[in-house]
Amino acid sequence: MGTRTRRGRRSGGVKSAVAACVVACAALFGCTAGDPDPKPSEQPVVSPFTGVTAEPGPVLAVKIDNVQAARPQTGLAAADIVYVEQVEAGLSRLLAVYSSEQPPSVGPVRSARESDIELLRQFGRPALAYSGAQSALLPLIGDAPLYPVTPQDAPGAFVRDGDRAAPHNLYVRPEQALEAAPEADQPRDIGFRFGPAPEGGRPLDEHTVEFPSARFTFTWSAEDERWLVSMDGAPARDADGARLGAPTVVVQYVEVRGSEFQDRSGSVSPYTETVGSGNALVLRDGRGHDARWSRPAADGGTAFTTPSGDRLNFARGPVWVVLAAR
């Protein structure tokens, strides 16, 4: 399960840009028809999700279980972005976004929530793999600008692990999931910026975010140049043993309120509002930077700025975003 595969699809915009470069080369440097042509497939593409050169494919989001019985998860280390969300009873669930790499398997897969619809709008029309949802929520998901991928829609994309107890044993195979959503959008700008660290900030070796019934700790590793993740006091690892972490962690303080939906036990499902503005803490390079976030509309990206109003650069690589209650 630890082997990763890369996708090689590219958007039409990239191809157009490459063609423009070829024309400019001919005009500026006198290239002739006999000169070797640049090969578009060899042109580097920088992922808007990580700031790293990649061969991005369609965007696939996967809703991942995060209770103790679901750990260690599979495929998290390959995600471009991992969102941490609050669910019923103060527990947490993960929404992992993939494009640069598609691991063979991701999971355990669990059900979607109303908040996911708003959160994913900034990605255009992505594929969303999940195990199901409350019946009252299904029409909203059906009307949302995304491609639902469930065991009912694409049974060949999901497998059960016989060594785990249900419901913590359902896994999705990304390649097959995307075959069920062939028109899923390519990655686009969602507001992230990458580059040199901003000035200021404060030295920070460790930071903990507490949900009512879950705890996440991020510890800076200068050797690994990333923040190592711990969940509920234990080091978080992928199923292949790899320690989970990211060069940038964003603690985004948002409004978390009750929704109109409940789970089977009657607990109200939280709604996490990701449209609007508020404070954030950006962790990178062993420092904590106070920030502001702004997302005026659901179909637009989220901008993170310094106290002076400049865009705040993330470190290049995967990003974890913790959607914490204000």
Top-confidence residue, 37 or 243:
243
Architecture of domain 49-326: 3-Layer(bba) Sandwich (3.50)
Band (4; pLDDT cuts 50, 70, 90): very low
**Which pLDDT band holds residue 44 (cuts at 50, 70, 90)?**
confident
Q: Confidence band (pLDDT; 50, 70, 90) for 35? A: very low
d(CA 47, CA 55): 8
How does pLDDT run across 185-207, given as a tens digit for each residue? 999 999 999 999 999 999 999 99
Is the per-residue pLDDT at 152 higher than 50? yes
Instruction: Decide: pTM greater than 0.75.
Output: yes
User: Cβ of 144: how many Cβ atoms within 10 Å?
Assistant: 18
Q: How far is CA 60 from each of CA 91, 95, 96, 124, 181, rounded to the nearest angstrom?
A: 24, 10, 8, 11, 9
Q: Are 304 and 191 in contact (CB under 8 A)?
A: yes
Instruction: Please give the structure tokens belonging to residue 227.
Output: 């923040």
Q: Is the pLDDT of residue 3 over 80?
A: no
Tell me the two tokens of residue 326.
């204000």
Q: What is the mean pLDDT of residues 207-221?
A: 97
What are the residue boundaries of the structural domains of the chain, listed by start?
8-43, 49-326
**309 burial type by CB count under 10 A (0-12 exposed, 13-18 middle, 19+ buried):** exposed
Is the pLDDT assigned to residue 87 strictly greater than 70?
yes
Cβ burial of 319 (10 Å; 0-12, 13-18, 19+) is buried
For the chain, the C-alpha Rg in angstroms (whole number) is 20
Please report the pLDDT score of residue 259 as a whole number: 76
Average pLDDT (174-179) is 98
Give the mean model confidence (pLDDT) for residues 160-174: 96
